Structure 1
Amino acid sequence: MTTRFQRLSRYYLTFTACFGAFLLSIGLLEQEGMPRVWIGYMFMFATIVLYAAIGVLSRTSNVAEYYVAGRRVPALFNGMATAADWISAASFISLAGGLYLHGFDGLAYVMGWTGGYCLVALLIAPYLRRFGQYTIPDFLAERYGGPGNGRAVRLFGVAATIVVSFTYVVAQIYAVGLIASRFTGVDFSVGIFLGLASILVCSFLGGMRAITWTQVAQYIIILVAFLMPAMWLSAKHSGNPIPQVAYGKLLPQISAREAELTADPKELAVRDIFRQRAAQFQQRLDGLPNSWESGRAELQHYLESVRLRNASLLEIRAAERALIAYPKNAEEAVTAWRAGRDENLRRARPITPHAQPFPAATPEQSDIKRKNFLALALCLMLGTAALPHILMRAYTTPSVNETRVSVFWTLFFILLIYLTIPALAVLVKYDVYSALVGSGFPELPTWVSYWASVDRANPLISITDINGDGIVQLAEIAIDGDVLVLATPEIAGLPYVVSGLVAAGGLAAALSTADGLLLAISNALSHDVYYKVVDPKASTQKRVTISKLILLGVAFVAAYSASTKPGDILSLVGAAFSLAASTLFPVLVMGVFWARANRFGALAGMATGFGVCQYYMLHTNPVLGGSAAAQWFDIAPISAGVFGVPAGLAALVLVSLVTPAPDARSQALIRHLRTPEPPK
């Protein structure tokens, strides 16, 4: 193992040096006048070729290598691979944006995800490695049923794995499309399938073996890409290149600037305009269906009038576009006008103080924010401890002790990024407050127009002169949280090569997680359904081939789903964590620590947890057809797991107690799981 560790260390040190030389050469080419679009192409091409090369070199048809990388990944490298698997698009791209937009409230994600890894280390990962199988449904079937009795539990575990992982992977592929479209200029949908090629060439050829060694390389790229602009901004604004230490110095200055902007008459005037627009949308909603008919008639009359008076072609086209964009019927008008009202009300709100915990107009509203903060952190913790693609990595180490050490390294590598995220949010906000707000519209930096053109239907950034004074007010800036990190180098005035680097880091984060998620789905279907249920006599070659074909199909379905832009990245990821916590956490933990839990209880727990969580999401999320008025205790739908977990746990315990106890074989398995591994 020592020789293998040393050889891997040499490989990745060489890779890091080559990566640094590549960055330096691209920077020199930029200085010589290379066009930005070519820099974007080179980063995209180089990273895809790298991942493809590792995939080709790691290709395998061996079952153990394909499913669990041969169970011989050293703890340090497994920690790096797991960290890359974990630092998804949500962490790399969206988390700093969430902290920028919501301030203190965004820390729930950092606390929940970090705390979740402590639960993985203490409650689940070592016991899964002691079990020594391939998938999470494998563990559930063996623990709760054994030979011939665990089919129902296995199939329910497969269903849960698919639902959780598919929800999560759609968010990753959405991020791939966002990055590819910005840095290569291709259409968003084309960018999604470009990234998909990179995902497939790795996971399709070599399974967990190829994914593991690709993810180690991806973590190195992620770390460099995230730290470089953060350190630059930190040195620029505080004189200290260590952002985790320096940003505390800027927080009082941000608070003072926020107080100044809150009292600024121009800021208040802009927010009042948004409030008036929201009232106009509400007036239209109250007047339906007559308001829809009269509005359409007005637009038709206006189009006819501009044509009759021989107006300019630009004015005629604008009138035509307005009529085309008008809702086709009263039902569409309800959806469109509610969205317009809510967006204007959001932009009319007072500034959210960045450093103030749970800011609100009343103590009651502050209490609601506090409850949602704690509920979200809890759901993320329990969801982290139940994510199939993360728990699968517990099977790849040589021993139980290596698994424990691996989780330590995972936490270490994750914290290098997570401790930088709050700092980056503060540094970017300080830059926007000091350099952008108060500047003239003619002097707007070019990065604003770049990012506004990525998705013209739903602009990622918009700065509009609402009050017509020619000066940028904070309320006139609308930034999508998903774009903040990617735009940070341009906001900071760094060379474009750093923008390409950050894009490569975001791409690596999305691809590494997508690889693991797609493999979790395909392995569950090929191993737990096809091999364990349909054809137990299938050869190893056939099993791996089936897994590859399933992976291909799932990847294309996920890519199509992502191309429809179903929601922002953090919302999709939050839903996946609540579903994982509600469906899988109770059966995994009780399967290890409560010998009385049986298969009837496991089925009842998974079904109840999933049902309660899904019901709450559907009935309280307006995007899914629900209503915020239906919330229980004012808990947001993203935290549905706070109800699903106790419901699933209660069902598991009650049903287990009123049905026969597990047989002697299951009892022996539990004793085996909880017996310390003998020293080697």
Structure 2
Amino acid sequence: MDQYTLNLIVVGASFALYIGIAIYSRAASTGEFYAAGRGVHPVMNGMATAADWMSAASFISMAGLIASVGYDNSTYLMGWTGGYVLLAMLLAPYLRKFGKFTVPEFIGDRFYSPTARIVAVVCLIVVSVTYVIGQMTGVGVTFARFLEVDTTTGLLIGAAIVFMYAVLGGMKGITYTQVAQYIVLILAYTVPAVFISLQLTGNPIPMFGLFSEHNASSQPLLAQLDQIVTDLGFNQYTGHHDSTLNTALFTMSLMIGTAGLPHVIIRFFTVPRVADARWSAGWALVFIAILYLTAPAVGAMARLNLIETIYPGNAAVTESALEYEQRPEWMRNWETTGLLTFEDKNGDGRIQFYNEGNADFATTAEENGWSGNELTVNNDIMVLANPEIANLPGWVIALVAAGGLAAALSTAAGLLLAISSAISHDLIKSVINPNISEKGELMAARVSMGFAIALATWLGLNPPGFAAQTVALAFGLAASSIFPVLMMGIFSKRVNNKGAIAGMLAGLIFTLAYVFAYKGFLFIPGTNLLPDNAANWVFGISPVSVGTIGAIINFAVAYFVSNATESPPQEIQELVESVRVPRGAGAASNH
């Protein structure tokens, strides 16, 4: 059986499974559409949360970014993992105890203000729409390669699949679909990693293989990788070369952005009890750790395999570079997608792959007769292409295709549900038409979902960059707008409605303005006002790191405005106390 047919069968079977689950789990009420009837088992919810949280950025882009840069890009790994712990410990149980369907509903009730609820809806939509672009990018990349269709067609197919199971099933259908998607994506990520780790080091556990001896060179794998990349003028793979300030701000932005992601938070509204929210958070962390402990090994091994393909025998800076006409089949396949390109700048028919931006390496390049780097590899293909580079069996390649799609579609569905719920429940039900029937609200939720899918597809046709980079911007927006107001809503009785509204607007507007100044409107190249490079950034702060500054501004403005105005009503202060302190805690402390 040829590879294309195998890909089609495996991906088609996974799609049939998702749609079948959605039909079986069809939502019949708004409670089932928004929160799965609050009847999801903690282990199942933990698995669904892991699938919801591990997006195309985690599956496709994170290891690719680590592969391209090395240690410095481990900020994605640290920020996203640390943020989930923050969410699980500081927000999830308290929000579940509050007992609402959506994040804007909590904000509106806690800050006793319809205006606060509407501002929260705006923040949620901006964050979720930005985030979903990265998922649609991942869908397009995966379809373009493995099902041999153009990116536009791939996006339309992916959107149609999400439409079928998300609009039909709501949170109930999405939850059980995400359980299946988690199983698919984790197998797709770990199985090839085990194969490749065995090939390169003889160790079947990838995270241990990363620190094992490289079979071909008999030296530690990371030492071998460091030697090869520095021989080609790249920075040392295991070294730190970025601004320490930017690294710290970016990691913090990812952490607090993760804790403020509305599509992940609403997953904790689906369990029966507060204790179940804590258990499901713990289980989700276990399920997430399986992929995140594997990702650094996948990134390092992908980089090593790529370079050893171009320079066989580990002879990096020599004339033994691969002849273009003898390039392997996997390179030919990815060239058709436009995500891997070659330009023979010196006319020698060989593939020169090195860091042409390294001034210290210029003399070596000139001595070798090189006229510039000739190979361009999109970071987003590294995980997807890794099994092909390693010449793994066809079924493994097909599994990776299904896994990449599962990761993108699971998160896209969660984000689209968050958008749909905000529009139907927080705008239509609470503001526009409070007397709408439950049947009418359910229809409004499904129509809103359809419009959200259409918008996400349209934006996905012109993605601003790598999936992980786009997602990082979404995390910055969540960090500056949603996370602070949730924290203050739970842990501060003094912050009032005026402070909350002012803080959310200040954080969001500042972050959007800073990002648009350097990235452009909707992050479209050419629409930026200032050159996007470190020399032009304010105090050297990157646009993808500025979410931390936006969060600080949000906190500061909220506290300043709150202290300059009246205190919240007594019943609101008692509500905050009841959410934060377990029942009976006061009585127990008196004995």
Secondary structure, aligned partner of 2:100: coil
Q: 1:470 to 1:187 in 2, by over 3 A?
A: closer
**Matches of residues 54-133 of structure 1 in structure 2 within 5 Å?**
54-133=21-100
2:111 aligned residue? 144
Quote the Cα distance in structure 1 between the aligned partners of 2:182 and 2:224: 37
Q: 2:549 is matched with which residue: 643, 661, 671?
A: 643
> Which letter maps to 1:439?
L
1:545-597 Cα shifts (integer Å, max 9, x gaps) = 10000100110111011112332212210110000010111110011111000
The 8 Å contact of residues 68 and 303 in structure 2, kept in 1 or not, is answered as no
Counterparts in 2 of 1:260 and 1:447: CA distance versus 1, 3 Å: closer
Q: What is the aligned partner in structure 1 of residue 248 from structure 2?
A: 374
Displacement after TM superposition at 1:37 (Å): 2.1
Q: 1:262 to 1:566 in 2, by over 3 A?
A: closer
How many angstroms apart in 1 are the aligned matches of 2:71 and 2:229? 19
- Residue among 537, 541, 544 paired with 2:435: 537
> Which residue of 1 is the match for residue 131 of structure 2?
168
Whole-angstrom CA distance in 1 between matches of 2:228 and 2:411: 42
Aligned residues of 1:619 and 1:630 also touching (Cα < 8 A): no
One of 293, 312, 323 as aligned partner of 1:440: 323
3-state SS, counterpart of residue 584 of structure 1: helix
Which residue number corresponds to residue 425 of structure 1? 299
1:204 aligns with 2:167: yes
Query: More displaced, 506-515 or 173-182?
Result: 173-182
Cα gap change, 1:468/1:389 in structure 2, threshold over 3 Å: closer, same or farther? same
- Counterpart of 1:271 in structure 2 is none
CA distance in 2 between counterparts of 1:441 and 1:184 reads 25
- Check if 1:389 corresponds to 2:287: no
Please point out which of 297, 321, 332 is paired with 1:449.
Answer: 332
2:122 corresponding residue in structure 1: 159
**Contact conserved, 2:211 with 2:222, CA < 8 A, in 1?**
no
Cα distance in 1 for partners of 2:492, 2:229 equals 56
Deviations, residues 11-41 of structure 1 (Å, cap 9, x unaligned): xxxxxxxxxxxxxxxxxxxxxxx22222222
User: 1:460 aligned to 2:339?
Assistant: yes
The answer as to whether partners of 1:400 and 1:677 remain within 8 angstroms in 2 is no
**Cα separation, 1, equivalents of 2:453 and 2:385:** 28
Q: Distance in 2 between matches of 1:136 and 1:575?
A: 20
Residue in structure 2 matched with residue 47 of structure 1 by the alignment: 14
Name the SS for the 1:81 alignment partner.
helix
Residue type of the partner of 2:339? L
**Distance in 2 separating the partners of 1:571 and 1:506:** 17
Paired letter, 1:209: K
1:426 offset after TM fit, Å?
1.2
Letter in 2 for 1:597: V
CA distance in structure 1 between the aligned counterparts of 2:71 and 2:435, rounded to whole angstroms = 55
Query: What is the rounded CA distance, in whole Å, between the counterparts of 2:460 and 2:143 in structure 1?
Result: 14
Cα gap change, 1:481 to 1:261, in 2 (>3 Å): closer
Give the counterpart of 1:504 among 396, 402, 405: 402
Normalization by structure 2: what TM-score? 0.89
Q: CA deviation at 1:95?
A: 0.4
The answer to whether the Cα contact below 8 Å between 1:601 and 1:651 also exists between their aligned partners in 2 is yes
Distance 2:326 2:584 in 1: 69
Structure 1 residue aligned with 2:511: 613
Instruction: Please say which of residues 493-502 and 622-631 is displaced more in the overlay.
Output: 622-631
Q: How far did 1:253 drift?
A: 4.5
- Percent identical among aligned pairs is 39
Q: Distance in 1 between matches of 2:539 and 2:12?
A: 50
Hey, what's the Cα distance between the residues in 2 that align with 1:257 and 1:44? 34
The normalised TM-score by structure 1 is: 0.78
| Residue matched to 2:571 | 665
Q: Which residue in the other structure is 1:284 paired with?
A: none
Indicate whether 1:213 and 2:176 are aligned: yes
Q: Which amino acid aligns with 2:116?
A: V
Q: Which residue number corresponds to residue 399 of structure 1?
A: 273
Q: Structure 2, unaligned stretches of length 5 or more?
A: 312-320, 355-373, 586-591
Structure-2 change in CA distance of 1:252 and 1:210 (3 Å): same
* Distance (Å, rounded) in 1 between the aligned partners of 2:164 and 2:554: 38
Alignment match, 2:351: 472
Distance in 2 separating the partners of 1:543 and 1:157: 20
Q: Give yes or no for contact 2:229–2:236 (8 Å, CA) kept in 1.
A: no
- SS for the counterpart of 1:596 is coil
User: What amino acid does structure 2 have at the position aligned with 1:497?
Assistant: W
Deviations 1:453-510 (A, max 9, x none): 01xxxx2112444333444333233211101111111011012221111010010000
Check the 8 A contact 2:50/2:288 in 1, yes or no: yes
Give unpaired runs (5+ residues) of structure 1: 1-33, 268-349, 359-365
| Residue 157 (structure 2) aligns with | 194
Q: Are the counterparts in 2 of residues 257 and 433 from structure 1 also a CA contact under 8 Å?
A: no
Q: Kindly state the Cα deviation for residue 256 of structure 1 after the two structures are TM-superposed.
A: 4.4
Matching residue within 213, 220, 239 for 1:356: 239
Deviation at 1:254, TM superposition (A): 4.8
Greater fraction of residues in helix: 1
Indicate the SS of the match to 2:464: coil
1:213 counterpart SS class: helix
Letter in 2 for 1:388: P
Q: Do 1:606 and 1:648's aligned partners in 2 also have CA atoms closer than 8 Å?
A: yes
Report the CA distance between 1:88 and its aligned residue: 0.2
**Cα contact 1:258–1:351 (8 A) shared by 2:** no
> Which residue of structure 2 aligns with residue 308 of structure 1?
none
Structure 1 or 2, whichever has the larger Rg, is 1
Q: Is the 8 A contact 2:229 2:237 kept in 1?
A: no
What is the total number of aligned residue pairs between the two structures?
544
Note the 1:260-339 alignment, pairs <5 A: 262-263=230-231
Q: In 1, Cα distance between the equivalents of 2:428 and 2:559?
A: 31
- Give the Cα–Cα distance (whole angstroms) in 2 for the partners of residues 637 and 257 of structure 1: 30
Segment of structure 1 superposing worse, 426-435 or 622-631:
622-631
In the TM superposition, residue 183 of structure 1 has moved relative to its aligned partner by 1.6
Go from structure 1 to structure 2 and tell me whether the alpha carbon gap of 1:425 and 1:159 turns closer, same or farther (over 3 Å shift).
same
Q: Secondary structure of 2:557's match?
A: helix
Q: In the alignment, what sits opposite 2:366?
A: none
Cα distance in structure 1, aligned partners of 2:274 and 2:353:
53
Say if 2:146 is the partner of 1:183.
Answer: yes
- Residue in 2 that maps onto 1:291: none
Kindly indicate whether the alpha-carbon contact (under 8 Å) linking 2:506 and 2:554 is maintained by their aligned counterparts in 1: yes
Alignment-derived partner of residue 480 in structure 2: 582
Distance 1:215 1:621 in 2: 33
CA spacing shift, 1:257–1:608, aligned 2, 3 Å = closer
Work out whether residues 144 and 598 of structure 1, in 8 Å CA contact, stay in contact via their aligned partners in 2: yes
The separation in 2 between residues aligned to 1:62 and 1:467, in whole angstroms, is 66
Q: Does 1:245 align with 2:213?
A: no
User: Cα deviation per residue 1:586-613 (whole Å; 9 max; x = unaligned)?
Assistant: 1100111110000000001001101111
**Offset at residue 74 of structure 1 (A):** 1.2
Partner Cα separation in structure 1 for residue 538 and residue 273 of structure 2: 44
Q: Is the 8 A contact 2:62 2:76 kept in 1?
A: yes
Give the one of 521, 527, 533 matched to 2:425. Answer: 527
User: In terms of mean alpha carbon deviation, does 172-181 or 502-511 score higher?
Assistant: 172-181
Supply the AA of the counterpart residue of 2:285: L
- 1:255–1:353 Cα contact (<8 Å) kept: no
Stretch deviating more after TM superposition (606-615 or 624-633): 624-633
